[in-house]
Structure 1
Amino acid sequence: MKKFLIVVGVLFTLGIVGVFAFTKIDFNRMNTDNYYLQITEDGIPHENKLDDGSVMTSYSYKLDATNEDGKTISLEFTAQKKLRQDAYLKMYVKEGDQVSSYDEVKLEEIPKKAQKRLE
């Protein structure tokens, strides 16, 4: 009986940790390289008709991004909304050029070498 309660306790603890991990950890940002860019042009709108008949608009962008070492690459990505002109973004990039996520940041939060390339 004692072993059974220990096993149930361990499984319960693992379950709580698993729920916490799935709700708090953004797996799209794990094992990614960070690049920075500034929105300098409007995205190209794409309308997709959903099964219920409603229309969803997404915007595609193709911009140059710079990492903290000053290396620049071209990134293509989509956003579910039109991004603010002149906004600075921190891009989370996997496998060379696949954008998995992004955050808007202030210029002061960008590493110095990347700031010089963006100015």
Structure 2
Amino acid sequence: MKKLLIGLITLIVIGVAALKIADIVVMGGDSYYVQVTTDGTKQNETDSQGQTYTKYQYQLPGYDQNGEEKSMDFSTVKERPLRKEAFLKLTWNKNKGVTSFEEVQEKEVPKKAQEKLLEAN
């Protein structure tokens, strides 16, 4: 009985670790920073249940912590566009593109990325 319990716990631990690794591979990636300079392109779309929603599409230059540039193409489903002049930290994955983003304060943007963003604007 004790061996069965240890085996079961081991399988659970391995399963959780595998799920974490899969999440990192699919949704994880490199951090890039952008500054919102436009209202984005507004698109009204319909989901599979026939409900309409508003989506804003953005294409902005993003910079990593070393100041290397990459074009960031992402969208958000909101009633209004993102706040202009806001700084965003994006997670970019080579297989999926931008997988997530969050607003950050200017002081949280790495110095080299911050310099490039200020030059671009």
What is the TM-score normalised by the length of structure 1? 0.77
CA contact (8 A) 1:75 1:97 kept: no
Distance, in Å, in 2 between the alignment partners of 1:9 and 1:97 is 33
Count of aligned pairs between the two proteins: 113
Name the structure 2 match of 1:107. 106
What one-letter code is carried by the residue in structure 2 that aligns with 1:3?
Answer: K
Name the structure 2 match of 1:7. 7
Q: Secondary structure at the match of 1:84?
A: coil
Bigger shift: 41-50 or 2-11? Answer: 2-11
* 5+ long unaligned stretches in structure 1: none
Question: How do residues 21-36 of structure 1 correspond to structure 2 at under 5 angstroms?
Answer: 27=24, 29-30=27-28, 32-36=29-33
Query: Aligned residues: percent identity?
Result: 35
* 5+ long unaligned stretches in structure 2: none
Deviations 1:54-102 (A, max 9, x none): 2011110011111111111211111112211111001111118811111
Distance, in Å, in 1 between the alignment partners of 2:54 and 2:5 is 52
Aligned-residue Cα RMSD (Å) equals 2.8
What is the TM-score normalised by the length of structure 2? 0.76
**2:61 is the alignment partner of 1:64:** yes
Distance, in Å, in 1 between the alignment partners of 2:60 and 2:5 is 57
What one-letter code is carried by the residue in structure 2 that aligns with 1:62?
Answer: Q
Question: Could you say if the C-alpha distance between residues 53 and 114 of structure 1 is closer, same or farther in structure 2, counting changes exceeding 3 Å?
Answer: same
Name the structure 2 match of 1:42. 39
Question: Could you say if the C-alpha distance between residues 111 and 55 of structure 1 is closer, same or farther in structure 2, counting changes exceeding 3 Å?
Answer: same
Q: Secondary structure at the match of 1:14?
A: helix
CA contact (8 A) 1:58 1:79 kept: yes
